[in-house]
Structure formats: C-alpha cells, structure tokens
Chain A
C-alpha cells in the first residue's frame, strides 16, 4: 500500500518540528534536575540534625571567589559562542580558554576547601549527617563540573588541533546549556549549604 496519503487537500504547509538535539539536552537537564532535587531535599531535611560536630557554622567559609569564577564562566562561554557564530575562531578560543580556567579555579578551590575540612576540621563523609550530606551534594555538583570540563577540554583540544569547530556550532551550544545548568545548580547548592544551612 502506498504510504503517501494526501488526497484532495492542498499540500501541508512547511512542516517544522523542534530540533532533536535541543530537545535532547533540555530533557537531559530535566532528568538531572530531578536527581539533584533529592540530594538537596536530603540536605535540607538534615540541617541541624547532626548529633555531634563539626557543625556548618564552625567550619564552612563562604566560597565567594570560587562562585564568582564559576558564574563568570557562564558569561565567558556566551562570549565564546558569539565569537564562534561570527566565525572569529581566535577570539572563540580565548574566551573558551577563559571558561576552562574559571571552571578549573572552581574545582581547585573546592579541592582546597575539602582538604581543609578533612585534615584540619576532621569532617569526612562519615563523621555526621552534615558531613554526609555536604560531601554528597557538593560532590555530586563537582562531578558534573568535571564532566562538563572534560567536554570543554575536548572542544579546546580539537579546535587547537585545527578541527573546523565552526561546523559544530549546534553541539557547542548544547554544551554551553549544560554548563549553564551546572552553574544554576551551583546557585541552589550555594544557597542551601552556605546560606540556609550555616
């Protein structure tokens, strides 16, 4: 049976559906949001419930610099995308590198914070409820930053090696959305851990 089914009516107007990749990244972000929500809920539920110290107000310092760096990296990645759209590959590479360095600063800062917490304050994931919820929530976020960084580095490397990165504008856009998501999650984590929970 012939599958073409138009009969008497006029041919349908232009048939445009949302792009697959865009939909894919959006729903990936939806599912990741559900995952983070549960860890945030666990954190909120256990605020103030630790039976013994160290307690958040004693050991947590506001990670101002790290947060500024991470949130700025969302700005630099947008600049990089604009440069890519205008085919200015050199500028793109510079802004992209800035994004990577800012993200790296965030990760290093987190690592240093954890080193202080573990060796100086003796707070580990098993110490008390605060330790467990803190390391798992911040760690889950940091792991997503690491995954994002890996892809950012991949783009950096291939473009440095001469690959025509301007042909991958769409995919670079999806990666930047993921990066924005990671930053938005940091805003939530920061508020819950360092503001509400301290």
Chain B
C-alpha cells in the first residue's frame, strides 16, 4: 500500500537517446548561463586562432624589408581585421563569457537575472562576427573595392567616407561591430542587474568576491562607453548611405569629431578588455598564496577609480591632432592619474603573495608573468601619456608594442590563468600540469621575442600600419626578431588547445574543490548542475568556504 512514508516504485524510464539534432537544439535554445558562458568563450578562442593566424601572416610579411608575402591591400585588410577581431570578437566575448559563467555561481544564484536576454546577447554577437567576416565575400557591393575592411580597427574619417572607401567593406565593419556591440551591452546589463538583485542571503556588496566586483564595474563601463561607438557608427552610416555630413570635411564637418567619439569609447574599451584579467588575478593569486587579497576595499576602490578616470583620458590618442596646449596638458595629466590605481593593484597583488605560501602551478605562473609584464606595459603607458614624448611615439611601433604588452602579455596571460584555474570546475577534470608549464614557458618566450623589439622599432622611427619598409632604415633586425617569436607562440598555443581537449576527456576527475578555494563556485559539483546549488547558500563573509573550513578562525570575525 502506497503511503507518504513509502518510496514509490518508479517505473523504469528509457534513457533519452541524445542525438546530434537534440544536442543542436539544446545548443541553440539554451538559456543556461553556464552553457552560454562556454559558448562565448569557445567562440572567442576560435576567433583568437583566426586573428592569430592573421598576425602570423602580418609578421611574415614584415620579417624582411621589401616583403612580398602579401600585396599592400591584403596587408591593410589583415591588420584591420586582426585588430577588429581581437578587440570585438575575442576580448568582448571573453568579458561576457567569464561573467556569465562565473558571476551567478559566485553570488550563489541559480542563473542570470535575464536568461533569455543572455541568449539573445550571445547570438547577436555571433551574428555581428558573421557580418564582419562576410565582408570577404560580400564587400564588393556598390562598385567597390571589395573584400574585407581595410580602414584600420579605429576607422578614422574621412578615410571611411564613400569617397575614399568604395565598396561595402567599411559598411560591413560598421554593421558587424554595431550588431556585436548590442550583444555586449545586453550582457553587461544582465551582469549589473544580476549582481545587484540576485545575491544569496548574507552576501552584501562588501562580501562579493573580487571577481564579481571587477566584472560589475566592467559592465558599468560597457553600458556607458559602448553607446558612443554605436552613435558614431550610426553617424558614419548616415554619411555613407544618406549623404550625411557628420564627418564630411567638404561641407564643414570635422574629421577630428570621429576621433573624439571613437576614443571616448575606445579608451574605456581597453579597460573593459583588461578588467577580466584583473578579476582573475584577484581570485587566483589569493588561492595560490593561501592568503586573502591584501586590501580588499582599496582594490575595489582602485578598480572603481580606474573605471571612472578612464572616461576622461580619451584624447591621449589625439596628441598629434593639433589640440591646444591646455587640452594636451589636461589629457597628459588625466592619463598619468589613471596609472596610479593600476599601480596600487600591482602592489596589492604582490602584498597578497608576500608572507604567503606560493604554489607555482600553471595558473599562478601566468599570474606572476602578468605582474611583471603589466608593470612594463603600465610604464610604457606613462611614456605615451607624456604629451611631448608621445609626439614622437604616437602611431609608431612603440604604441603597437605597448598595447600588445597590455593585451597579450597582460590580458591573454590573465585569461590563461583563469582558464587553467576554472578548467576543473567547468569540465570536471584536471588539466595536465606538465603541458601547462610547457605552454607557459614557450608562450612567455614567444611574447617577449615578438613585442619587446617593437618598442625599439618605435624609437627608430618605424610608423604603424606599413606593409613594408626599405632595407636601410635600421629596422631589419628588430622586425626579424619580432617575427621569430611566432616559433614559440604557435607551438605553445597548440599545446594549450591539446591540453584542454585531451584533459576534457581523459583528465583525472577533479572533484568539487581541487584548489582548496574559498568562493562559492567551489561549493558545488564539477561541473555544476544546471541549477547550480542544491540549496541557495547563506554567507557571512567574503570567503564563505574559508569560514566553513576554518571554523576556529572565520573571516566574519575580522571583516
């Protein structure tokens, strides 16, 4: 007799056979933040490989003077697509993917605030990427030059006007990025609302993990800084399609106005891109030093200051445009000021390690390298911030060296740290530590070889965006050295991809918490179930798992 106390005998249910089409359906209809987060990241990695191959061709062309690997137009398209892809189709989806996957888990929620908006954001980003690359086929519309855009990733006016960019290639640049930008804004909105409205009981804003704080501020930056780009792109479309005069110098329009609007977006954008690395370091370094982050309030304040000040530095990209000495001085000042909170972060990360027990596993190796390399990048940034020095360095290979140091030696190193750190949580398995170290050392050597010489090329007067150079300018040696870095970066990347794939299927099972960590994502299974947590946790400090594991010395006694 069945009663409430007796387990009902459940009839056997045939295991649903998962076919390819059902997997596909699940993929395109999912609103689960973890699936979408992974989709963002995998897509970003694919675009990273594509843009990396473009960079390979660029470096082969520039390895020797009077290079003949590609013709000038192809080269100009390559650097345009390389930059555009890396910023909008690699960097931005990493921002979205990391926050979408990790934020709900870290705040003890079951999903993002708006799961369907989340899915919309991903698919429209993907569509934007598709539009950009469709230019290779469709760019010859309107009696044009054809093929992919070749106007540089910041597409200065009036080079982008119909007169100087015939064909539809520039239109694909505008539309692809505009559409992808909608996805970024949607994702950022979601992160903000999730962080504000969906934290688990006891998790005040003060107790949110550093990662969540940084991604929250990142999202605020996105919703404020991306619309200026969208606005400028709408204006450019109006110019190109409706005969508008926004940037038409013939009718009194200003080419410099595009630069102002673009860089009002563009400078915050580079902070938007680097923040995930800051977020990751603030999680990884404490765990691998076995100490809490040093100066949490100062760290949060530093990120907030960087975000705020970064809205007021944009014209340091325009020192050569002929602004007044007042403007140039103002932007020199504001740009140098933004270096201060960045320096504070480096000091705090170091102080976190100081007095700790540092475990130099792969994630931590990438973090350590980041500290040195981002220090260098920040200091070359101070050089560029100095107006008069910038008059020499602007638009030279020094700038190329600087921003590749921040983005490759900085951001990408941080992303690798994060990917290795959370790989066990996401896949349920441990990656191969030996291959991880091989990846690290090869990549490190390759990055130094490629990007350090670029600073010297800038000192020697080599401008950016040139498809070749004469043999007697003194640029030969450094260019060849820069290209040689590929010999290390390419195998390093192969090792990384192989490690990820092999370990996903054959790696040792990871368990819930292989790193002995302190934030909520490690309080559930690896990988987490669709509903994230058996029951919604309640927390009393910023390190809930530390409190659990150390009941005699919980954080909430000190916070």
Contacts and interface: CB of A to CB of B under 8 A. Distances in A.
Interface of A: 1-7, 9, 11-12, 15, 17-20, 23-24, 27-28, 30-32, 34-35, 37-39, 42, 45-46, 49-51, 124-126, 128-129, 131-133, 136, 140
A27 B198 contact: no
A17 B197 contact: yes
A134 to B, nearest CB: 11
B9 to A, nearest CB: 29
A32 B226 CA distance: 10
The 6 closest A-B pairs by CB, nearest first: A126-B243, A38-B231, A34-B227, A35-B227, A15-B201, A31-B223
Contact of A128 (B251, B536, B544): B251
8 contacts: A3-B533, A5-B548, A6-B538, A34-B224, A37-B227, A42-B231, A45-B254, A126-B244
Nearest to B219: A27
A4 B196 CA distance: 21
A132 B189 contact: no
B69 to A, nearest CB: 40
Interface in B530-559: 533-540, 544, 547-548, 551, 554, 556
Interface stretch (B232-240, B343-351, B441-449): B232-240
Contacts of A42: 231, 235, 246, 257, 261
B202 A136 contact: no
B234 A51 contact: no
Given A18-B197, A45-B254, A45-B257, A126 B245 contact: yes
A132 B238 contact: yes
Contacts of B548: 1, 5
B74 to A, nearest CB: 34
A31 B227 contact: yes
Contacts of A27: 189, 192-193, 223
B223 A24 contact: no
Given A4-B535, A23-B192, A24-B193, A132 B227 contact: no
A24 B535 CA distance: 26
Nearest to B534: A3
A12 B202 contact: yes
Contact of B238 (A3, A34, A128, A136): A136
Contacts of A46: 252-253
A30 B512 CA distance: 39
Contact of A38 (B198, B245, B261): B261
Interface residues of B, number: 57
A67 B351 CA distance: 59
Contacts of A132: 238-239, 244-246, 253
A145 B453 CA distance: 54
Given A5-B539, A11-B538, A42-B231, 12 more contacts: A1-B513, A1-B523, A2-B534, A3-B108, A20-B193, A23-B192, A24-B193, A34-B223, A35-B228, A42-B261, A128-B252, A129-B253
A69 B474 CA distance: 70
Contacts of A12: 201-202, 538, 540
Interface of B: 108, 113-114, 185, 189, 192-193, 196-199, 201-202, 223-228, 230-232, 234-235, 238-239, 242-246, 251-254, 257, 261, 264, 512-513, 520, 523-524, 533-540, 544, 547-548, 551, 554, 556
A35 B230 contact: yes
A19 B537 CA distance: 20
A28 B219 CA distance: 12
B227 A1 contact: no
Nearest to A4: B535
A5 B547 contact: yes
B198 to A, nearest CB: 7
A136 B251 contact: no
B537 A35 contact: no
A18 B196 contact: yes
Given A34-B227, A132-B245, A51 B251 contact: yes
Contact of A5 (B227, B244, B253, B538): B538
A23 B227 contact: no
B197 A20 contact: yes
Nearest to B533: A3
Most chain B beta-carbon contacts within 10 A, residue among A32, A42, A45, A50: A42
Contacts of B113: 20, 23-24
B238 A19 contact: no
Contacts of A3: 108, 520, 523-524, 533-537
B114 A24 contact: yes
Contacts of A7: 547, 551, 554
Contacts of B114: 20, 24
A52 to B, nearest CB: 8
B537 A28 contact: no
A177 to B, nearest CB: 15
B131 to A, nearest CB: 20
A19 B197 contact: yes
Contacts of B246: 42, 132-133, 136
A20 B112 CA distance: 10
Most chain A beta-carbon contacts within 10 A, residue among B239, B253, B254, B536: B253
Nearest to A39: B231
Given A17-B198, A31-B185, A31-B189, A51 B252 contact: yes
Contacts of A37: 227-228
A23 B235 contact: no
A23 to B, nearest CB: 4
Contacts of A45: 254, 257
Contacts of B230: 35
A2 B523 CA distance: 7
B75 to A, nearest CB: 32
A67 to B, nearest CB: 24
Contact of A50 (B252, B551, B554): B252
